Amino acid sequence: MSNQTTQSTSFNRSDLNKNALKVTQRLSEGGFTAYLVGGCVRDLLLGRQPKDFDVATNATPQQVNRLFRNSRIIGRRFQIVHVRFGREIIEVSTFRAQHDQKQSSEAGHVLNDNVFGSFEDDAVRRDFTINALYYCPTKDQVLDPTSLGLDDLQKKRLVLIGDPETRFREDPVRMLRAIRFKAKLDFSISQKLERTIQENASLMAEIPPARLFEEVLKLLMAGAAKKTYQALKHYQLIETLFPKVADAGINQNLIERALESTDRRIANGQPVTPAFLFAALLWDPVAQLHTKLTNIDGLSRADGWAAAGDQIVAQQQSTLSIPRRFSGPAKDIWCLQDRFEARQGKRPFRLLAHKRFRAAYDFLLLRRDSGEPLEALCDWWTEFQTADEVEQKSMIQATRPNRKRKPRRKSNTD
Ligand code: ATP
Ligand code: MG
Amino acid letter at 67? L
Measured from the Cα of 173, ligand 1's closest atom is: 27
Query: In testing the pocket of ligand 1, which one of 35, 131, 161 has its CB within 8 Å of the most ligand atoms?
Result: 131
Q: Which residues contact 199 (CB under 8 A, 6 or more apart)?
A: 165
127 lines ligand 1 (CB under 6 A): yes
H helical segments located in 171-251:
173-185, 191-200, 209-220, 225-234, 238-241
Residue 54 Cα to ligand 1 midpoint, Å, equals: 9
What pLDDT, on a 0 to 100 scale, did the predictor assign at position 409?
Answer: 54
Q: Report how far residue 186's alpha carbon sits from residue 56's, in angstroms, rounded to the nearest whole number.
A: 27
Gyration radius (Cα) of the chain, Å: 27
Which residue has the least CA distance to atom 11 on ligand 1? 39
Task: Please tell me whether residue 239 adopts helix, strand or coil conformation.
Answer: helix
- CATH class, range 261-398: mainly alpha
Look at residues 138, 185, 187 and name the one whose alpha carbon lies nearest to residue 158: 187
pLDDT at residue 1, as a whole number: 47
CATH 1.10.110.30 in the chain is located at 163-241
Please state, in angstroms and as integers, the Cα–Cα distance from residue 383 to each residue in 368, 392, 398, following that order: 16, 9, 13
Q: Which CATH class is domain 1-162?
A: alpha beta
Q: From ligand 2's centre to the CA of 148, what distance in Å?
A: 20
Does the beta carbon of 131 lie inside 6 Å of ligand 1?
A: yes
pLDDT tens series, the chain, 414 aa? 444 666 666 778 888 999 999 999 999 999 999 999 999 999 999 999 898 999 999 999 999 999 999 999 999 878 999 999 999 999 999 998 876 544 555 555 554 556 788 899 999 999 999 999 999 999 999 999 999 999 999 999 999 999 999 999 999 999 999 999 999 999 999 999 999 999 999 999 899 999 999 999 999 998 999 999 999 998 989 988 999 998 878 889 999 999 999 999 999 999 999 999 999 999 999 999 999 999 999 999 999 999 999 999 999 998 899 999 999 999 999 999 999 999 988 999 999 999 999 999 999 999 999 999 999 999 999 999 999 999 999 999 998 776 555 555 554 444
The one-character DSSP state at 387 is: S
Give the CA distances from residue 112 to residues 60, 69, 172, in Å, rounded to whole numbers and listed in that order.
Answer: 15, 27, 16
Interval between CA 18 and ligand 1 midpoint (Å): 21
Residue nearest to atom 12 of ligand 1 (CA): 39
Ligand 1 nearest atom to the CA of residue 50, by list position: 2
Q: What are phi and psi of 108, to 5 degrees?
A: 100, 5
Atom of ligand 1 nearest to the CA of 39: 7
Q: How far is the CA of 298 from the centre of ligand 2 (A)?
A: 50
The string of pLDDT tens digits covering residues 328-369 is 999 999 999 999 999 988 999 999 999 999 999 999 999 999
Closest ligand 1 atom to Cα of 132: 20
Q: Give dist(CA 188, CA 207) in Å, integer.
A: 26
Residue-level pLDDT at 102: 43
Q: Is the CB of 126 under 6 A from ligand 1?
A: yes
Contact criterion met (CB below 8 Å) for 312 and 285: yes
pLDDT of 414: 41
pLDDT value at residue 246: 85
pTM over 0.95: no
> Where does the chain hold its CATH 3.30.460.10 domain(s)?
1-162
Ligand 1 center from residue 322 Cα (angstroms): 22
Residue 54 CB–ligand 1 contact under 6 Å: yes
Instruction: Show the CA angle centred on residue 16, arms to residues 14 and 18, nearest 5°.
Output: 95
CATH 1.10.3090.10 placement within the chain: 261-398
Cβ(162) – ligand 1 distance below 6 Å: no
Which pLDDT score is estimated for 9?
A: 66
Beta carbon of 316 within 6 Å of any ligand 1 atom:
no
| Closest C-alpha to 55, from 4, 87, 21 | 21
- Angle value at C-alpha 378, between 376 and 379, nearest 5 degrees: 65
Q: Is the dihedral of CA 366, 367, 368, 370 positive or negative?
A: positive
Active-site residues: which are they? 52, 54, 127
Q: How far is the CA of 39 from the centre of ligand 1 (A)?
A: 6
> What's the rounded Cα separation, in Å, for the pair 43 and 156?
12
Alpha-carbon distance 258 to 279, whole Å?
9
Q: Which amino acid is at 161?
A: I
HSE-up of residue 94 (Cα within 13 Å, Cβ side): 22
Instruction: Give the integer Cα–Cα distance in Å for 366 and 384.
Output: 18
* Substitution site in 89, 126, 167 for ligand 1 pocket (most atoms within 8 Å of beta carbon): 126
Calpha distance 290→302 (Å, rounded): 9
Alpha carbon nearest to ligand 1 atom 16, residue: 38
Q: Going by CA atoms, what residue is nearest to atom 14 of ligand 1?
A: 38
Task: With H, G, I as helix, E, B as strand and everything else as coil, classify residue 1.
Answer: coil
In DSSP terms, which residues pair with 128 in a beta bridge? 160
What is the reported pLDDT for 371?
A: 94
CATH top-level class for 163-241? mainly alpha
Phi, psi of 238 (to 5 degrees): -65, -35
Per-residue pLDDT, 250? 86
Phi/psi of residue 60, nearest 5 degrees: -75, 160
pLDDT tens per residue across span 221-263: 989 999 999 999 989 899 889 999 988 788 899 999 999 999 9
How far, in Å, CA of 40 to CA of 25, rounded?
Answer: 17
- pLDDT, residue 99, reads 61
Task: Give the integer Cα–Cα distance in Å for 221 and 274.
Answer: 8
User: Is 41's C-beta closer than 6 angstroms to any atom of ligand 1?
Assistant: no
Cβ contact 300:321 at 8 Å: no
Eight-state DSSP code of residue 93: E
